[in-house]
Structure 1
Amino acid sequence: MSKHLISHLFQSVLTLWAAFTIAFVLLQALPGDAVLIKFLASDFGLTPEQITELQQTYGVNLPLWQKYFHELGAIFTGNLGFSVQAGLPVSQVIATNLPPTLLLASLGFTAAIVLALSVAFLSAFTCFSWLRQALHALPSLFVSVPVFWLGIVLIQIVSFQLGLIPVINPGHWEGLILPTIALAIPISAPIAQILIRNIEATLLLPHVAVARAKGASHVWVLWHHVARNAVLPTLTMAGLLFGELLAGAVVTETVFGLSGLGSLTQQAVNNQDTAVLKAIVIISAAIFITINLIVDLLYPILDPRLRVAQEARP
């Protein structure tokens, strides 16, 4: 188990390094820099010499290889750099905007799991073929709905036409209802699809047929024999979808005007605040890696066969 954990930690570090490198290369291709955007076209009244001095202070004029290794060393020591536009350390800017995004992503992920489980197990419980076919078609419909379009539709119907949730100055939790729904529906689709396939495949296994032959009810079979075997493969998809969930949260925040990484990313792109953008990429990658590491470590705990297989390896 310790070798398994060390191997995954090593892979996680490599993934973080790759994410930083790709972000660094892409952001360096942008024309101009944050110092020019903030001070050249503003009323600060700085001379070109003073702007050049500021660029040297922020390290904008360093050679690319020197800038790369300097920023790489700073990232792995916890120093995320300095935001030119905000005039604050990037870690402080991220600390202010990350919690709302994590809250929205967590609520959306929870709602997506509940929705996927409801669709999958309801399709297994129902005795009506037409309802089963309709439930099987729902994930295909959900996955084709763009997050931004769904958010606009929810605002138009729920807020403007029905007047149930105000758009302007809603309560803290009240303002998270529509963004959570908009985020959860597309994310729930792949989870529901895998659950439905796994449930149908598990119902055909020999031990399920034996349990039914002994007189077990359909509900008892689903709970004791089907649920655990069907949910296990879904964990991998859930972990992979969390990265998409963070990206969807950024789009959803922009649609609903919420503060978080969404608005911060938009401002950083407009102002070419590369330090903030690189920090957002690194933190998003770190969260994604952590979730998948937890999922991978949960597999041997939930499935004893995997634990025995790992212990049997030399």
Structure 2
Amino acid sequence: MKSFPLLRRVLQAVVVLWAAFTLSFVILYLLPGDAVLTKLGSAEGGPSASPAQIAALRAEYGLDDPVLVQYGRHLLAALHGDFGTSVATGDDATHQVLTALPPTLAVSGLALVLAIVFGGGIAVLGTFTRSRWVSQLLLSLPPLGTSLPTFWVGLLLIQLFSFQLRLFPALGSTGFASLVLPAVTLSLPTGAIIAQVLAKSLRTQLAEPYIEVVRAKGASRRRVHFGHALRNAGLPALTLVGVVAGNLLAGSVVTETVFSRDGLGRVTASAVTAQDVPVVQAVIVLAAFFFVVLNLVVDLVYPLLDPRVSVRKEVSAHV
């Protein structure tokens, strides 16, 4: 297996997807409440349903089978991309999730770009600037960005840019303008994390002996900073991007709720409230799929940017 790192990563991805599916099934099964009662409106003091109606609906969705039978049936179906029928809406769960995915990807993609640009910019300017007070000011922003609640930032942006300045719509999913505020809200904590990691990595690289060698050879300040320090410091940040990109999908639940946007986040929130197991499992497996794919891409790109990684792997394989 040491000789086939790509195969090892693919097998790890399969295990992650299986674990995500299994954990979601177990957690949803153990939650109190009943999706059938929620659908029929007999929970929480709603209009009552007859025992025959409840039994018929439970049989229709296979909820009266033993838990291991339900798990096996759902797992085999999921291997074919079929997560069943939504208990709440009666629609195909896979189709429902895939339909809600594009608006969420649009916001998450723009948020990732903003996070990389602003997070990377703050780290580079804060580390390379000659002004000490400017450096302290810029590098004090990332800890603040990670501590602010996402929903509070969203409400603040709505108040300022929608109600006061009237530059962007407060709600809705139509047009590029409706993407801006949700993307900015989602990008702040992600950009702050990228800035912290990159700034620390830059400081580490600037303290390395090879930097002094480059300076002794007469390299300009610009070449030292951008041609050597930033190039090597960007590798840990690249690994982090693969992690936080998956987290943006999770953050869409709060963002889409605050901005009343259609998307995967609102579908997930509604499905969890209704204990709609097929939809929730489809969302979780899809999020896990994006996570493992992004990290697999990062693992493949990493050796191209840093050939030393390939050399270390070859040495380890022959030890």
State the TM-score, normalizing by the size of structure 1: 0.94
Quote the Cα distance in structure 2 between the aligned partners of 1:152 and 1:50.
43
Query: What is aligned with 1:216?
Result: 219
Quote the Cα distance in structure 1 between the aligned partners of 2:3 and 2:267.
39
Query: What is aligned with 2:156?
Result: 153
Deviations 1:52-102 (A, max 9, x none): 122111111111111111111111221111112222111110111011111
**CA-atom RMSD in angstroms:** 2.0
Which of residues 60, 65, 84 is equivalent to 2:63?
60
Distance 1:254 1:40, change over 3 A: closer
The total of aligned residue pairs comes to 314
Give the CA deviation at 1:170.
Answer: 7.2
Which of residues 264, 286, 290 is equivalent to 2:289?
286
Which of residues 227, 232, 251 is equivalent to 1:229?
232
Query: What is aligned with 1:296?
Result: 299
SS in 1 for 2:94: helix
Distance 1:170 1:279, change over 3 A: closer
Q: Give the conservation status (yes or no) of the 8 Å contact 2:36–2:87.
A: yes
Q: Give the conservation status (yes or no) of the 8 Å contact 2:198–2:234.
A: yes
Distance 1:169 1:51, change over 3 A: closer
Where in structure 2 are the equivalents of 1:24-173 lying within 5 Å?
24-41=25-42, 47-168=50-171, 171-173=174-176
SS in 1 for 2:202: helix
Query: What is aligned with 2:14?
Result: 13
Quote the Cα distance in structure 2 between the aligned partners of 1:237 and 1:144.
18
Quote the Cα distance in structure 2 between the aligned partners of 1:226 and 1:123.
14
Give the CA deviation at 1:214.
Answer: 2.5
Quote the Cα distance in structure 2 between the aligned partners of 1:161 and 1:46.
49
Query: What is aligned with 2:308?
Result: 305
Quote the Cα distance in structure 2 between the aligned partners of 1:144 and 1:44.
44
Quote the Cα distance in structure 1 between the aligned partners of 2:297 and 2:247.
17
Is the deviation greater in 104-113 or in 30-39?
30-39
Distance 1:182 1:75, change over 3 A: same
Quote the Cα distance in structure 2 between the aligned partners of 1:52 and 1:168.
41
Instruction: For structure 2, list consecutive stretches of 5 or more residues without a partner in the other structure.
Output: none
Distance 1:306 1:260, change over 3 A: same
Give the CA deviation at 1:242.
Answer: 2.1
Q: Give the conservation status (yes or no) of the 8 Å contact 1:40–1:51.
A: no
Q: Give the conservation status (yes or no) of the 8 Å contact 2:172–2:259.
A: no
Quote the Cα distance in structure 2 between the aligned partners of 1:168 and 1:245.
19
Is the deviation greater in 240-249 or in 39-48?
39-48
Which of residues 238, 242, 246 is equivalent to 2:245?
242
Distance 1:306 1:170, change over 3 A: closer
SS in 2 for 1:114: helix
Instruction: For structure 1, list consecutive stretches of 5 or more residues without a partner in the other structure.
Output: none
Whichever residue aligns with residue 93 of structure 1, its letter is Q
Is the deviation greater in 262-271 or in 27-36?
27-36
Distance 1:278 1:148, change over 3 A: same
Q: Give the conservation status (yes or no) of the 8 Å contact 1:101–1:250.
A: no
Q: Give the conservation status (yes or no) of the 8 Å contact 2:42–2:49.
A: no
Quote the Cα distance in structure 2 between the aligned partners of 1:119 and 1:167.
28
Q: Give the conservation status (yes or no) of the 8 Å contact 2:25–2:281.
A: yes
Deviations 1:160-207 (A, max 9, x none): 122221325574100010011101111111211111111111112222
Q: Give the conservation status (yes or no) of the 8 Å contact 1:33–1:273.
A: no
Quote the Cα distance in structure 2 between the aligned partners of 1:72 and 1:89.
16
Is the deviation greater in 239-248 or in 64-73?
239-248
Quote the Cα distance in structure 2 between the aligned partners of 1:261 and 1:170.
13
Is the deviation greater in 271-280 or in 203-212?
203-212
Q: Give the conservation status (yes or no) of the 8 Å contact 1:33–1:60.
A: no
Give the CA deviation at 1:241.
Answer: 1.5
The answer to whether the aligner puts 1:207 opposite 2:222 as a matched pair is no
